[in-house]
Amino acid sequence: MEEFDEDWSDKASVHSRNVNVNELSPMLFKEEKLEKDPRVSSADYGTFCTGPNILTLSKRRDILREQQTNFRELEISLKKSDFISSKFATSISVSLRRAKSVQKSFRVCGESIKQIEGQLGSGVGTYFKVIVWLLKINFICMILSLGLIVGPGAYMHQIRNSSLDHTIIYNKDDLKCTNPNFVNGSSVYVDAANSLLQFFTGTGWMEITPMFYGWYPTGNLTRNLKGDEKTVYYFSLAYFAVGVFFFFLALLFMLFNLSTQLNKSAAEQFDSKPYATQILTLDYSISNIKTSQQNSVKIAQAMREKLIEDAQRGIERDLWTKVKLFLLRTVTNTICLAGMVGTVYMYVHKIITESSEKWANSTDSCGHIRNEALDDIQDKDISEQLSTFWNTYSASIIVSASNVILPNFFKQVGSFEKYRFQSTRVGITLIRMFTMKLFNIAAYLYILLIAVGPSAGQQEPWQTPDNTLFYNCWENYIASQLYQLLLIDFIVFCIALLLGEVLRSYILARSSFLRDRLGITKPEFDIAQNILDLVHKQMIFWSGFYFAPLFPVLAVFEVLSIFYLKKASALSNVLPPQTVVLNHQSTFTINCLFLISLLVVFVFMGLIIFNFHPSPTCGPFRDTSRFTDPLSNVIDHSGVFKRYIIDNIKTTSIVVILIILTGLVIYYYRSLAASRAVTVSLLTKQVRSEITEKQALLDLVPGHRERRQSRAQVGAEGEELGTKKLGEISTIL
């Protein structure tokens, strides 16, 4: 057994003779500041640089030149076949680079977004990037719709109208949905004013345009090829495919996007570093002095609030305060819920009362005013005309107006609730706003289904024959209601923008009293509210797409208009947002919102396609009993799928299975994220224990322990001062 050597500390010393510096870890080397030790050569030290190894552009160029020279020399020595392969690989790489540069040149609205980010920060830029993303989706939808539905539909119209048997695609009387002039088969509109009105309501002459379902022909496009009548285009199938498969593609795309972000976001949630993230991720894109100053003010404020919140976390409220807050929040939540339910009740009541006797006497089969009644109304005074106007558009106006009024109401209510943390208050307000918008649209769609139920083969028990509304072309009715909602929503959006931002900014610029005395400022750009607005509009597009093939064209125009109107207003009439919105949270949340809204529309479309019967008098499915019949026919003939698979897909058991599968996928990713968090925590512990071990070894080095203790002393004093101040803050609170 080896005797214990009492000079072990000296032997262990780094300063002892014949130490091989290559065996030392970089950290140890640095700890000891051995670079100053004359016994160690600078050449050895140079390998222990602990900073990031960065090469400047000129150094990289030198290396690249050397690599290219070496590569050329190597190429010369290659065999011919290898030389050709090498050249081929190089040309592919060059082509890919060029293709990438071409793809970049198609970046939509890049300059505008840069300008906005420079002025208002990258958070606001995120909103505009979402608009561009929606524009791309709607553009793809538009191309599919125009290419596969509208174009062939128009071609088939032209052929059939010019054919010898003069087959008419639709009987105008069959539509009979809105303008009573169709009953007489006379001219399409009464006068220019009514014509314009019909443009905004999607009724009358609008119903025989390619905008709506009823215009489209049934059957297939056939050609006489070598004496046989061959089908060259399955129009009904194309209509079904574009309408349904686009939703599936959008859904799959969003699920995939969301799953990757859930993976990242959940992992970060378990290991969040709020202070470091806030300080180290400064927005470098700002190019405006006011925005830059406001940004620093915003971060300073957020940091102060965070320090206060953290000081408050350890403080428990007393029982009486908790009870008071509970009662207060119950009241505020009840008020908000009442606001949402009240809004829905108003327009549901309006649509349902269309079936009342009074209304039925003056309306035609589509619930719109008969010609005679219209004449009577035109003789009445303004107040009654306004009343008629209100009766016609009330549902759309209520939905659109509530989207503007209720969010501001929720924000005010939220300020009374006395949440400790601003993030909690903001989160709850957002949940209320999203629930309100979703509830509005979901209820609107459900009511439309009830209204057209009897026409589509669905009997509702409470609808008596007297009150039943029977639409000859119920698909057009749904499409026209959604079209109305779309237009009214856009008009309300423009009015809100004009009054809320442009006019307010104009008045403030000219009134120092309002600015200086009352302290009123320009409105702040509320990123979350604006994004919810986009979600709402997109839901309307998706809902109406199946029954209005030109909706995507409207969608593209509307989204572009929103982009430029919002941009113009944002650059001159608003202030940057005061609350800090972190991009990764926004991206994940935005994807969630769009996915949920798409799922709601999916359910609506599913109910219609699998349960409702198409109108026998209009549209491409008039000769079928189900919307899925064209697909079923093709599958039956192809013999690829068995009938029972298709039948089972329509049942609720499949929906249940899909929901369970989705839940399992989400659970899987959540578990994965949690397991990674545990791994990170264990690795951190491992690193810390290794460091402790290292410190213990270093303490064997003479002088090192004293140096470490003096550094620790300085750090502890600073920490004590910081802790003392946090304690003072909590005492004040």
Partner 1 sequence: MGNSESALISEKQLEIYQLETFFTRKEILHIYQSFENLNPDKVREAFMAGNYQVKMDYQEVIQLAELKYSPFKDRICRVFSEDQSGDMTFSDYLDMLSVMSMQAPKDLKAAYAFKIYDFNDDDEIDRTDLDELVNRVTGFRMKTEDVDGIVDEILKECDMDENGTLTAAEFEDILHKSPEFSANFNIEV
Site for partner 1 in 96-115 (CB under 8 A): 97, 100-101, 104-105, 110, 113-114
230 binds partner 1 (CB under 8 A): no
**13-35: b (≥16 Cβ within 10 Å) or e:** bbeeeeeebeebeeebbebbebe
Shortest CB 289 distance to partner 1, Å: 5
Residues of this chain, 148-207, that bind partner 1 according to CB under 8 A: none
54 binds partner 1 (CB under 8 A): yes
> What is the size of the binding site for partner 1 (CB under 8 A)?
72
Instruction: Closer to partner 1 by CB, 405 or 582: give it.
Output: 582
Site stretch for partner 1 (CB under 8 A), options 5-13, 56-64, 360-368, 479-487:
56-64
Instruction: Closer to partner 1 by CB, 57 or 319: give it.
Output: 57
Give 230's DSSP letter. E
584 binds partner 1 (CB under 8 A): yes
49 binds partner 1 (CB under 8 A): yes
18 binds partner 1 (CB under 8 A): no
43 binds partner 1 (CB under 8 A): no
Structure tokens at 442: 């979901």
Which of 292, 362, 423, 468 contacts partner 1 by CB under 8 A? 292
Structure tokens at 111: 């300059």
State how far the Cα of 239 lies from the Cα of 233, in Å rounded to an integer: 11
Residues of this chain, 501-540, that bind partner 1 according to CB under 8 A: none
283 binds partner 1 (CB under 8 A): yes
Instruction: Closer to partner 1 by CB, 662 or 686: give it.
Output: 686
730 binds partner 1 (CB under 8 A): no
How many CA atoms does the CB half-sphere of 275 hold within 13 Å?
A: 8
Shortest CB 690 distance to partner 1, Å: 9
- Residue among 114, 116, 131, 129 nearest 556 (CA): 131
**Cα dihedral value 107, 562, 484, 481, nearest 10:** 50
- For the chain, how far is it from start to end, CA to CA, in angstroms? 66
222 binds partner 1 (CB under 8 A): no
Which of 710, 715, 731, 732 contacts partner 1 by CB under 8 A? 715
Show Cβ contacts of residue 206 under 8 Å, excluding neighbours closer than 6 positions.
198, 199, 212, 480, 483
Cβ–Cβ under 8 Å, residues 479 and 212: yes
Site stretch for partner 1 (CB under 8 A), options 38-46, 185-193, 369-377, 716-724:
716-724
Give 702's DSSP letter. T
305 binds partner 1 (CB under 8 A): no
Residues of this chain, 602-641, that bind partner 1 according to CB under 8 A: none
State how far the Cα of 273 lies from the Cα of 283, in Å rounded to an integer: 17
Instruction: Closer to partner 1 by CB, 87 or 317: give it.
Output: 87
Site stretch for partner 1 (CB under 8 A), options 78-86, 263-271, 340-348, 540-548:
263-271
Cβ–Cβ under 8 Å, residues 160 and 592: no
For 48, 338, 442, 443, the CA distances from 333, given in Å and listed in that order, are 61, 8, 21, 20
Instruction: Closer to partner 1 by CB, 285 or 463: give it.
Output: 285
Q: Determine how many CB atoms are found less than 10 A away from the CB of residue 463.
A: 16
Site stretch for partner 1 (CB under 8 A), options 422-430, 581-589, 603-611, 621-629:
581-589
86 binds partner 1 (CB under 8 A): no
Instruction: Closer to partner 1 by CB, 56 or 77: give it.
Output: 56
Residues of this chain, 677-696, that bind partner 1 according to CB under 8 A: 684, 687-688, 691
Q: How many residues does the chain have?
A: 733
State how far the Cα of 174 lies from the Cα of 167, in Å rounded to an integer: 15
654 binds partner 1 (CB under 8 A): no
275 binds partner 1 (CB under 8 A): yes
Shortest CB 58 distance to partner 1, Å: 6
- Residue among 112, 121, 118 nearest 287 (CA): 118
Which of 64, 331, 494, 658 contacts partner 1 by CB under 8 A? 64
288 binds partner 1 (CB under 8 A): yes
Shortest CB 64 distance to partner 1, Å: 6
Q: In sequence order, what are the beta bridge partners of 363?
A: 369
Shortest CB 342 distance to partner 1, Å: 39
Site stretch for partner 1 (CB under 8 A), options 94-102, 435-443, 460-468, 597-605:
94-102
- Residue among 701, 708, 732, 723 nearest 10 (CA): 701
Structure tokens at 470: 């029977």
Residues of this chain, 120-149, that bind partner 1 according to CB under 8 A: 122
State how far the Cα of 134 lies from the Cα of 139, in Å rounded to an integer: 8
Give 513's DSSP letter. I
Shortest CB 38 distance to partner 1, Å: 21
362 binds partner 1 (CB under 8 A): no
**Burial of residue 733, with CB atoms counted within 10 A of its CB: 0-12 exposed, 13-18 middle, 19 or more buried:** exposed
Backbone conformation region of residue 482, classed left if phi is above 0, alpha if psi is from -120 to 50, else beta: alpha
x-or-dash string of contact with partner 1, 541-580, rule CB under 8 A? ----------------------------------------
